Amino acid sequence: MNEIVTGDTLGAFVRENHIEVRGPSAGALAGLTFAAKDIYDVAGVRTGFGSPDWLRTHGPAARSAPAVQMLLDAGAHLIGKTHTEEMAWSLTGENAHYGTPINVNAPGRVPGGSSSGSAAAVAAGLVDFALGSDTGGSVRLPASYCGILGMRPTHGRIPLEGVCPLAPSFDTCGWFARDPGVFERVGRVLLRDDAPAAKSRRLLVAQDAFAFAEESAKAAFKSALEKVAAVIGTPENVTVGDESLTQWMDYFRFPQGAEAWAAHSEWITRERPQFGPAIKGRFEWASTVDPKDVARASARREAITRRMDELLRNDAVLALPSAPDIALPRNSPPVVVDGLRARALPMLCIAGLARLPQVSLPLASLNGCPLGLSLIAARGNDTMLLALARAISSQPSAFS
C-alpha cells in the first residue's frame, strides 16, 4: 500500500480492496495521480460499492472499467480506490459502515456524497484528480462542498461498463480536480475529444433554481455570477421550469427509484444486506414505486429535454447554484438531511432529466466554507464547459 493511502488521515481511501496501478511514462496525463470511486472495477480486485455485503458477495473484476483504463493508458497513476456512500445513493457522504471522509476545506462538515472519498482526496491534494459518478448530484454537490472543480458530462458520453449502477438512465462518469488545466486534460481523455471547444456568448441565469438557495448564500452567488459574466457577457434572467422545479424533482425521483430497485432487487432479496438506516429506507421506498408514476415521469422527461434543448440553443450556458448552501455539519439529524435533499434536488435534477453536461466551479464562499456555482450547456457541449472553467479561472482571484 503506497504512502499516500497508508498515511491517509482523512478516511478518503478504502483499505479492504486497495489497488495501485501505474500508467505508462508517456501520454496526455503522464505524471498525474488519481483515485477512483469504489464503484469502478479495477482488474484483479473486488469492487465494494460502499457496502461490506456487496464486497463480500462479489468476486474480483476480470478487467478494469473503460473509464479507468482510458486514464491509465493516458499515463495517469492510480493510487487507490475511494470511499463512496453506500450503493452510491446519498448527498452527504456519511457511510454507516465506513464513516465520513474529512472535508479539509469545511472543517466539521460533510464532504458531500456519494463521491465523498474522491472529492475529499482531491480537496486535500492527495491526488491530482479523481473519478466520481453523478446520478442525482454526486459529483456536483461534493465539488461545491469541498471547493473543487467537478464535472457531470452529457449522459452516455463516457462508457459505464464495469461501473456499479444506481439508475442507468441518469448515471454518468464524472471527475474532480483542483487545477482547471488538469481538469480539462482529464476531460479530453475521458470524452475522447480533442476538437476545438465551442464558445459561448450567452449567459442565462436560472431564477427558479436560485430561489432554492439559502438567503445567506445569495450574495456569494451574486459575486460568483459576476466572475462568469466577465468571461461570457451580460447575463439574462430566465425561468427554467414550465412548472415548479419541485415537481421536476419528482420526475427524477420516481424513475431513479424504479431503476435502482430493478438493478439490485435480486441481490437485495437474496443476500439481505445490512444497509444503513437511510439507504435501507430508500430501497424500501424504491420497491413500492408505482409504474404509473414512472410512466408519467418518463413522458414529462422527454418534454423537459425538448424545453432545455431550446433554452440552450446557440451555445448558451445556464448558471445556477451547485448546492443550496455550504456543507451540512457532520452527523446532522435526519430532518436536516431531508431538508437538504428537498432544496438541492430541484436544482440538481435539471441536468439529469435533460441528459445535460454540468460543471461546478469553486467561485464563492460563505462563513469560510466553499460554495460552487454551476454552468449547464447543451448536450455534447462538454468541452465548452471545460474551456470556460479554464477561462474563468484565469481571472485574478477567480477561484475562492
Q: What is the number of other CB atoms lying within 10 angstroms of the CB of residue 24? A: 12
Task: Find the DSSP H helices in 272-333.
Answer: 277-286, 291-311
Residues contacting residue 49 through CB under 8 Å, at least 6 positions apart: 38, 39, 55, 84, 86, 87, 88, 164
The active-site residue, picked from 64, 114, 115, 133, is 114
Q: Is 227 helix (H, G, I), strand (E, B) or coil?
A: helix
Burial class, 215, CB count within 10 angstroms (exposed 0-12 / middle 13-18 / buried 19+): exposed
3-state SS assignment for residue 361: strand
> What distance lies between CA 172 and its chain's CA centroid?
8
DSSP-based three-state secondary structure for 273: coil
- Whether 146 and 178 have beta carbons less than 8 Å apart is answered as no
Catalytic residue among 115, 138, 322, 400: 138
The DSSP code for 234 is S
Is residue 317 within 8 Å of 198, Cβ to Cβ? no
Pairing of strands 235-238, 202-206: parallel
Spell out the SS3 assignment of 324-345: CCCCCECCCCHHHHHHHHHHHH
Please answer whether residues 145 and 103 qualify as being in contact, where contact means their C-beta atoms are separated by less than 8 angstroms. Answer: yes
Please indicate whether residue 37 is annotated as part of the active site.
yes
Question: Active site includes 138?
Answer: yes
307-310: list long-range contacts, CB under 8 Å, 24+ apart: 307/242, 307/354, 308/240, 308/350, 308/353, 308/354, 308/356, 308/378, 309/354, 309/378, 309/379
227 included as an active-site residue: no
Chain centre to alpha carbon of residue 97: 21
**Cell numbers standing for residue 255:** 424513475
Cα 156 to chain center, whole Å? 15
Task: Please list the active-site residues.
Answer: 37, 114, 138
